[in-house]
Structure formats: C-alpha cells, structure tokens
C-alpha cells in the first residue's frame, strides 16, 4: 500500500493527552468565569461570565468566533473578519486556514455564490439563540401608558389600539380581583393577534398570577372525562400563596465542639451527648447547645469553623449558606462561595413564601405514597397513568385551604385559563387563560363551563375564536361563534381588526429584527402587495429566504428570494385550489 504524504495520522496515545489538555483548559476558563461572577456578586455562573473570561485573555483568541453576538449578521461577520485578520498577523502558521474559513463565512471576496455544501454550520451560540425565538417572542406587553391609552406601535404590537386598551381594562380588573368567574371572548380573523393579546395579558399580570395553557383537543381523552379535564385546568389556574414564619439561628460558625459521654450500651465505646455551636453576626455572638441529631446534619453538610449557616428551630434542619468573606483569599481558582457576615441578631424570624396551585394540592393528595407491601406495589403497577380526582377530595382540599385563609396563613390568587389548539406558551407559568379554537368544545363542555364559572373558586376564562355564525359542536343549533347563548351572555367581547398592508409590513420588519435578518429595500413592499397571502405564511418565508440569500453570498433578503420560496412552499389558498383542480381532473 502506497502511503499518501497528505494524510495526517494521530498516534494511539495522543487522545489521552488531548483529554487531559481539555480538562485543564475547561478548568482554567471556569475559574476565570467564577472570578467575574464573584466580582458581580452573583453565585450562578452565566454564559456572559464565560464569554467575558474568554474575551479578556489573549490565550483564548481562537474562541472569539463562538461567542454570542448581539449585533446583526452583517456586523457580526465583519467583526469575525476583523478578528480573523488579527489572528493571521499573530499566527502565520494558520494563515491559509483562517483565510479559507473567512472566505466561506463571508461568501467570497468577489460576492460569488457559494455552493450549498460550502455553507458553514451555525455556531452553537447562534443556534441556541435562534431556538429561543418563538412565534410571540416579540410580545412584551400591551404597550399602554399610565392612563391606559395605547401608545402607537409599542411592546411588540402593531395597531389594534382598541383591543389593547380593552385588554388593559381587563388586566386592571384581574389585578384587583374583580374579574374572577367571568369570561372574555376575543374574536377576529386568523392572524390578527388574538393569541398575542392573551399572551400580552399574561405579561402584564406578571409571574405571580397562575397561567394554565391547554389546547381544545386536550379535553377529549380515553382515560378521564371531559368535565374532569376542565376541572383540572380550573384548579391549576387558582394559586395559593402560603406564608410561613420560621424561627432560625443564623451566623458564622466560631465554635464547633461535640461533647462525648460513655455509651451505656457499650463498655468502652462513647457517644455524642450534645454539640456546642458558636454563631456570630454583625450585631453579636451566641453559643448554642444542640441535640446530637443536629450534629449528624452538620457532618453531612461538611460544616467547619468559618462557614455561614442557619438552623431552623422547629425542625432542626441545618443549611450551609457559604463561607464567610473574612476567610476569602486571592486565589485564581477557588471553589468556595463567599457570603458576607449576616446582619441582625443570631436568633431571628424569617418569612418564607411558597406559591402552589389547587391542582398541585389535588394531585399530591390523590396519589399518596402507598405502603411497601406486595399489594401496594402491584396496585401502583396496574394503575392507569392518569386518574380522576374525586369531588370529595376537592372539597376536603377546599376546606383545608379555607382554614388557612381564615388563619391568615394563605392567600388565594385567582388566575386565568388559556385553551388553544396551537399554543406557543406551554413553558410559561403565569396566568390561566382559556383560549380558543372554541369550536373544539362541545355543548357538554360549554354547559360545564357555566357551572364552573358560578363556583366559589373560579378563575378568569379567556376565549378566542375566528368563527362567525356556526353550529355548536354536538348539536344542530346555529349560534354566533359556535358558543351557546347562555355562555355568550357571560362574555365581554373584544374584536381584533384585520391588518392593513402597512401594518403587515411593520409586523414583518419587526419579526425580521427579532430573528436578526436584513430585508432589502423592495422586500417589504413586495410583502405588502401580496394581499392574498396570510401574515403567518409571509413570516414563515423569512427564514428559508434568508438561507437562500446566504447561499447566494448576500446579507439581505431580496424580492427574488421571496419569489423562489413562494414557488417551493405554497400557501393554503393555492394548495386548496390545486387540490380542487386535481379532484375535478
């Protein structure tokens, strides 16, 4: 076999050295990032700390290109090219490889098109950033001023001033807890911002108000009844804020002395009778005599003199907060978390707040931990994955909650229920809204909704639909929006207006800015002229068109890119016309 001089081989023992080098390299970056985090008085290491640690040292110049970029694609590419030139001047051995990489990234010096297989893969940072851009990532609120008046195009909203002002009134009612057990109906054509209004209400209410998203088809299940699914959604939409006052001993450990005594069960062995702990704060010191069981918790937490701890008086739980900053040393690599000396007295009261929902309490009591006998184990194996919560259990939970409220220990926070077929906010834990493709609910669900809205503990229900006069599911009755009249009378109705051509262009420009894309001068005018295309369809063409423009060596999306993507991806109207034509043929 003839050897090829161009082929480079790696010795068998080289990977071991690679692994050791990687460990040292990661440890060095981590240490520098922790120093930056400590200087900012943070205990959690973030991406920004790692990026700053890389950029501050010349030793890590080769990692600059993977740092997250906040500027648009054009500026980022220019910055990469500038840094690449710096590396070429400093390291001549990598000159050819750097120039090839920069040429591939910038599409060549002469602007020639790049082959599809020559496109460099996106960096990990940019891929992670793009994955966080959802359909409604640009919605930051309703965009109202202090008087409740819509401020033009603000908070990610374009137009819809009347609908935003109406939702602002609803937010005030929910905040003042005067809208519980009532319903709001959002009506309008598809793509006019009904779901965006619902999410904006959630943004305005904040994370303290429960938010329970669900889809209309989620009501239908083979395991539980439709009414049970609605009941669970309502219970998850009612929050319970429990306030508990605990007496704790907190301070820096100045003394830790276990006292031994003879074990009465053994002739020579000894046992811990008690432990003496000295705690110091800014205001003073105190010596405590504690039970031997607390000493076991101290050993488990690996507590030594100089650590800042707190001990709960009622339960005896011991928690290590960190190391006192008086023991801080100027090490480059330090794994300890340094905290300041606690203020106040050693013995103090702390108020702990815990937020749960009634659905959490129902689930915790519906599936208690069973025994360890064979029947309990077999019962847990054959039990179905989703069980119904009995009405008797819910009444018991309500009785306990009412007792907490009367004692002043807990506070009930009504939320909002959100039912949607295509929900983009499944990961949010804010408010409970019931949004709609309401036509997915049948007459039984609507009847049960009336009963739930009249119950003592009921959240706010927000429905949204794009239907006009249509039949109620499960009946032959034609009703406005496919909703029974008795439920429709309970709703406050907010209408969303269709977007004009100028508003459509503004929305597309806003989404392009969020996704870091550049549009050509005539691209927005082309989008505005396409009146037959829906707003969602136009937005979905942006990313494929951006890929096409990158392959062509351009940084802006032109009209030709949009036209080519329109030929590859059909809109709903064109597809329906073709299917009808094929059916006739």
pLDDT tens digits for range 138-153:
788 888 888 888 887 7
C-alpha distances (whole Å) from 233 to each of 29, 49, 196, 221, 418 are: 46, 40, 21, 14, 9
What is the C-alpha to C-alpha distance for residues 543 and 347, in angstroms, rounded to an integer?
A: 59
440 Cβ partners below 8 Å, 6+ apart? 215, 216, 217, 219, 419, 421, 473
- The encoded tokens of residue 534 equal 């829906």
pLDDT (0 to 100) of residue 254 = 92
Q: State mean pLDDT over 439-443.
A: 71
Q: State mean pLDDT over 176-183.
A: 87
Residues in the chain, total: 585
| Dihedrals phi, psi of 93, to nearest 5 degrees | -65, -30
pLDDT (0 to 100) of residue 581 = 80
| Range with lowest mean pLDDT among 16-30, 87-101, 299-313 | 87-101
| Position 252 pLDDT exceeds 90 | yes
CATH 2.40.50.360 correct for 244-351: yes
Report the Cα 405 to chain-centroid distance in Å: 31
- Calculate what percentage of the chain has a pLDDT beyond 70: 74
- The encoded tokens of residue 35 equal 């120093």
- The vertex-451 CA angle with 446 and 454, nearest 5°, equals 125
| Position 541 pLDDT exceeds 70 | yes
What is the C-alpha to C-alpha distance for residues 484 and 183, in angstroms, rounded to an integer?
A: 13
Q: What are the sequence ranges of the domains in the chain?
A: 22-131, 161-237+415-495, 244-351, 501-584
pLDDT (0 to 100) of residue 486 = 86
Closest by CA to 179, choosing from 449, 480, 488, 432, is 432
What is the C-alpha to C-alpha distance for residues 338 and 326, in angstroms, rounded to an integer?
A: 8
Residue 280 pLDDT grade (very low, low, confident, very high; cuts 50, 70, 90): very high
Determine the 3-state secondary structure of 288 from DSSP. Answer: strand
DSSP annotation of 511? H
Per CATH, the number for 501-584 is 1.10.8.60
What is the C-alpha to C-alpha distance for residues 136 and 425, in angstroms, rounded to an integer?
A: 9
pLDDT tens digits for range 71-84:
333 333 334 434 44
Closest by CA to 421, choosing from 467, 377, 389, 385, is 467
The per-residue pLDDT of the chain, averaged, comes to: 75
The structure tokens 């109406």 sit at 166
Which conformational region is residue 210 in: left (phi greater than 0), alpha (psi within -120 to 50 degrees), or beta?
Answer: beta
pLDDT (0 to 100) of residue 376 = 56
Beta bridge partners of 238: 414
Long-range contacts of 365-370 (CB under 8 A, 24+ apart): 365/393, 365/396, 365/397, 366/390, 366/393
- The vertex-313 CA angle with 311 and 316, nearest 5°, equals 60
> Among the CATH numbers 3.40.50.300, 3.30.565.10, 1.10.10.10, 3.90.950.10, which is that of 161-237+415-495?
3.40.50.300
Q: State mean pLDDT over 246-251.
A: 89
pLDDT (0 to 100) of residue 522 = 86
């Amino acid at each position: 076999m003839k050897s090829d001089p161009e082929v480079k081989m790696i010795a068998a023992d080289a990977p071991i050295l690679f692994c050791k080098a990687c460990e040292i390299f990661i440890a060095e970056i981590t240490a520098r990032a922790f120093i930056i985090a400590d200087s900012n008085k943070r205990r959690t290491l973030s991406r920004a700390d790692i990026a700053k640690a890389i950029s501050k040292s010349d030793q890590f110049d080769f990692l600059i290109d993977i740092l997250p970029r906040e500027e648009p694609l054009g500026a980022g590419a220019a910055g990469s090219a500038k840094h690449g030139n710096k590396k070429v001047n400093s390291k001549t051995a990598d000159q050819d490889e750097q120039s090839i990489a920069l040429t591939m990234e910038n599409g060549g010096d002469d602007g020639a098109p790049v082959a599809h297989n020559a496109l460099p893969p996106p960096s990990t940072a940019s891929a992670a950033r793009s994955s966080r851009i959802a359909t409604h990532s640009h919605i930051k609120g309703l965009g109202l001023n202090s008087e409740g008046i819509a401020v033009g195009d603000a908070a990610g909203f374009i137009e819809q001033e009347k609908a935003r002002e109406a939702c602002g009134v609803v937010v005030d009612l929910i905040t003042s807890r005067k809208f519980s057990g009532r319903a709001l109906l959002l009506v309008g054509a598809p793509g006019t911002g009904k779901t965006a209004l619902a999410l904006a209400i959630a943004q305005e209410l904040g994370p303290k108000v429960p938010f329970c998203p669900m889809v209309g088809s989620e009501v239908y299940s083979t395991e539980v009844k439709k009414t049970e699914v609605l009941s669970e959604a309502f219970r998850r939409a009612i929050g319970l804020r429990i306030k508990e006052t605990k007496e704790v001993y907190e301070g820096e450990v100045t003394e830790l002395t276990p006292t031994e005594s003879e074990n009465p069960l053994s002739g020579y062995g000894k046992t811990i009778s008690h432990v003496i702990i000295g705690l110091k704060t800014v205001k003073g010191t105190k010596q405590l005599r504690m039970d031997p069981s607390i000493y076991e918790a101290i050993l488990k937490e690996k507590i030594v003199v100089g650590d800042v701890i707190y001990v709960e008086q009622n339960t005896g739980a011991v928690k290590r907060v960190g190391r006192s900053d008086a023991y801080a040393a100027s090490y480059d690599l330090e794994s300890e978390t340094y905290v300041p000396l606690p203020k106040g007295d050693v013995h103090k009261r702390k108020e702990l707040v815990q937020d749960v929902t009634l659905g959490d309490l129902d689930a915790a009591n519906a599936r208690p931990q069973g025994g360890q006998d064979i029947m309990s184990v077999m019962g847990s194996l054959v039990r179905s994955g989703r069980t119904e919560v009995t009405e008797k259990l819910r009444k018991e939970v309500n009785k306990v909650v009412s007792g907490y409220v009367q004692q002043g220990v807990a506070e009930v926070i009504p939320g909002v229920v959100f039912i949607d077929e295509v929900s983009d906010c499944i990961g949010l834990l804010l408010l409970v809204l019931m949004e709609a493709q309401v036509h997915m609910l049948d007459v039984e669900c609507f009847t049960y909704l009336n009963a739930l809205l009249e119950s003592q503990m009921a959240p706010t229900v927000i429905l949204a639909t794009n239907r006009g006069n249509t039949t109620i599911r499960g009946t032959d009755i034609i009703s406005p929006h496919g909703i029974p009249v008795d439920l429709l009378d309970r709703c406050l109705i907010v209408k969303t207006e269709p977007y004009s051509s100028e508003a459509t262009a503004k929305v597309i420009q806003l989404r392009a800015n969020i996704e870091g894309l550049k549009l050509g001068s005539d691209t927005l005018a082309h989008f505005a002229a396409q009146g037959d295309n829906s707003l969602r369809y136009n937005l979905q063409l942006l990313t494929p068109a951006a890929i096409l423009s990158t392959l062509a060596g351009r940084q802006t999306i032109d009209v030709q890119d949009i036209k080519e993507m329109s030929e590859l991806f059909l809109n709903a109207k064109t597809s329906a016309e073709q299917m009808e034509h094929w059916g006739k043929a």
